Every structure is written in structure tokens, then in C-alpha cells.
Copies of this chain bind each other. A is one copy, B any other.
Amino acid sequence: MRVNQIANEIGVTADTVRFYTRVGYLNPSKNPTNGYKEYGDKERRLLRFILSARQLGFSVEDIGQILSTAERGRSPCPLVRVLIQQRLIETQKSFQDSVQLRERMTSAIETWNQKPDRAPTGEMICHLIEEFDHTAAAVYNGA
């Protein structure tokens, strides 16, 4: 099985398979006649596992730790339970960041509907952006 075959079978791009190979999580054998990498059952199982873990928000490095724990025959489950808590916190944060950014953006768009375009001056580059920031700061300060 070569890189494109396994990629198609699992439903990812060849570049993704190459990436996980490059970082050492997949260890295909090498066809000596042409140097092509040969992926087998073990790699298929590993790749599926990697994708499942990615779906759950584990980082590529997390997965490396999980895999190497398992390789040593130890249960990776305790580590997995710890790591997902950390990743959940990060996800909450990126969720909150997205919410707040979205609020700022929609608020700006609405405000800008009432405002004209204006050429830049020595003081202002884009009055929409600069004035909105003042407004937002004022709101934030409770003014």
C-alpha cells in the first residue's frame, strides 16, 4: 500500500499521511527498488487512531505521548484523561474568544452602516476602525 492508497482508504490527503510519517508516528517499510513507502495493517490502525484522537482535540504532540506510552505496554488512559481536561480548557478559551470577536465584529459592522467612507488624513488612517475602537473602549470603561 502506498501513500495515496492508504490516504484514500482512510479519507485524508496523502500529505496528511506523509506528515504523520515524517513525525514518526507511522513507520512504513521502504520498497528498496524504488524507495516508495509501503503502508500496512499496522499503519492503517495507527492512522485511524490518530484521526480519532485529533477529532477529540488532542494535539499531535499529545498523540505522540499517548502512542509512546502504549508502545511501552502501559495504559495510556490516565494520560488521556489528564490531557483532555487541558485541551478542553483551551477549547473553552478559543470558544470565548470567538464569541467576543464575533460580537465586536457585528457591532462594528452595524455601527459602520451609519458612517460614510472617508479619505485618510495625517491623523486618521481609517476613521471606521479608529473611531470604533474609541467607542468600544468607552463602553468597556462603563462610560
A102 to B57, CA, bound (A): 9
Chain B residue numbers with a CB within 8 Å of A129 are: 49, 52-53, 56, 66, 80
Q: Identify which of A4-12, A13-21, A28-36, A92-100 touches chain B.
A: A92-100
Asked if A105 is at the interface (CB within 8 A of a chain B CB), the reply is yes
Count of chain copies: 2
Asked if A44 is at the interface (CB within 8 A of a chain B CB), the reply is no
Chain B residue numbers with a CB within 8 Å of A23 are: none
Asked if A60 is at the interface (CB within 8 A of a chain B CB), the reply is no
Would you call the interface of chain A mostly helix, strand, loop, or mixed?
A: helix
**Nearest chain B CB to A43 CB, angstrom units:** 13
Q: Mark A80-122, 1 if CB is under 8 A from B, else 0.
A: 1100110110011011001101101110110010001111100
Chain B residue numbers with a CB within 8 Å of A85 are: 109
A102 to B95, CA, bound (A): 8
A105 touches B75 (CB 8 A): no
A128 touches B88 (CB 8 A): no
A133 touches B75 (CB 8 A): no
16 interchain pairs, CB-CB under 8 A: A49-B126, A49-B129, A52-B129, A56-B104, A57-B101, A67-B125, A75-B120, A75-B126, A76-B125, A77-B117, A77-B118, A78-B117, A80-B129, A84-B109, A88-B106, A98-B98
